[in-house]
Chains A and B, each alone.
Chain A
Amino acid sequence: MKFGIVTFPGSNCDDDAYLAVTEALGATAERLWHKDHDLRGADVIILPGGFSYGDYLRSGAIARFSPIMREVVEHARRGGPVLGICNGFQILCESGLLPGALLRNRQLQFVCTTVVLRVESRDTMFTNQYREGQLLRIPVAHGDGRYTIDDSGLARLEDAHQVVFRYVDGAGNASPEANPNGSLDNIAGIVNERGNVMGMMPHPERVVTELLGGRDGLGVFESILARVAA
């Protein structure tokens, strides 16, 4: 079982993701470059956070046309797991692998803080090591994190239990105050209909060992390992 971590020009969480899966999880990983034309045998692809291509035009809009993305899209179509974190989530929406879009934060300011997430669905290959309703403390750091989708798209997400994480307060309520960016229905992370592609704005790779202040994010990677290695 091998992870593949993609680096685009402007990615800045690729090392964190690499260390999360190698050191904290103990798995093997391959670094992939945006100009690469093959996934080098990676079973799970991670699109990390950052500011690919300077966020020119729209966040993720240019990265989507990188040579490596052709392979990532094919991998996803074959049912291969893809995890997009922060800018990776934006790239997945722009590339059409996930529905909806991520817009400028409601308050027009970059938000860098630790949020509380509620696990909305543990029946995914990315969250099966968590408990349903479990509260996680995970950092966010983004300017364009306001998830949006039209009404029918939102209904489809809800009906198919594709909303995986919501921003909540300490008591677990998805209140407006707990929402760091104005995201629709406090949505922090979703999976595609097939369940093999997940995007999330918070950074699980930043909380995988006590040295980093917590381990609440490790479950995402443990879940993938449990499912893919099985």
Chain B
Amino acid sequence: MTRFRIAVHIVPRRGILDPQGKAVADALHALGFATVKDVRIGRHIVVDADAASPADAEADVRAMCDKLLANPVTEDYEIAGVAPL
């Protein structure tokens, strides 16, 4: 077993109103960042866990996302990185 650090991004699903993201997009527009089209604010979770391989580590974190870390009704997630420690 090797210890891995797995990072996961969880963001509100497109089509679901994200008032935080909208407020920040409005603020960016007010600052002159006219190119901004959309902002969505989610969370970044970093898990240290033991696994036999990077693929296993990723599969484990995907299972964690499906069961707890992300809400399947409102959120999407993507594995942002898997690195051995």
Q: Enumerate chain A interface residues (CB-CB to B < 8 A).
A: 57-58, 61, 65, 93-94, 99-101, 103-108, 146, 148-150, 182
Is there contact, CB below 8 Å, between A108 and B19? yes
B1 at the interface (CB under 8 A from A): no
Q: Enumerate chain B interface residues (CB-CB to A < 8 A).
A: 12, 16-17, 19-20, 23, 68-69, 71, 73-74
Minimal beta-carbon separation of B68 from chain A (angstroms): 7
Given contacts A57-B68, A61-B68, A108-B23, contact A101 B17 (CB under 8 A): no
Is there contact, CB below 8 Å, between B19 and A101? no
- Complex: chain B residue closest to A108, CB-CB: B19
Contacts of B23 in A (CB 8 A): 108
Main SS of the interface on chain B?
mixed
Is there contact, CB below 8 Å, between A61 and B74? no
Q: Could you write out 8 A-B pairs with CB less than 8 Å apart?
A: A61-B71, A103-B12, A103-B16, A103-B17, A104-B20, A108-B19, A148-B74, A182-B19
Number of A-B pairs, beta carbon distance below 8 Å: 34
Contacts of A148 in B (CB 8 A): 16, 73-74
Minimal beta-carbon separation of A70 from chain B (angstroms): 15
Partner of B69, one of A57, A99, A101, A150: A57
Is there contact, CB below 8 Å, between B17 and A106? yes
Contacts of B69 in A (CB 8 A): 57
Determine the distance from Cα of A65 to Cα of B69 in the docked complex, in whole angstroms. Answer: 13
Given contacts A57-B68, A61-B68, contact A149 B73 (CB under 8 A): yes
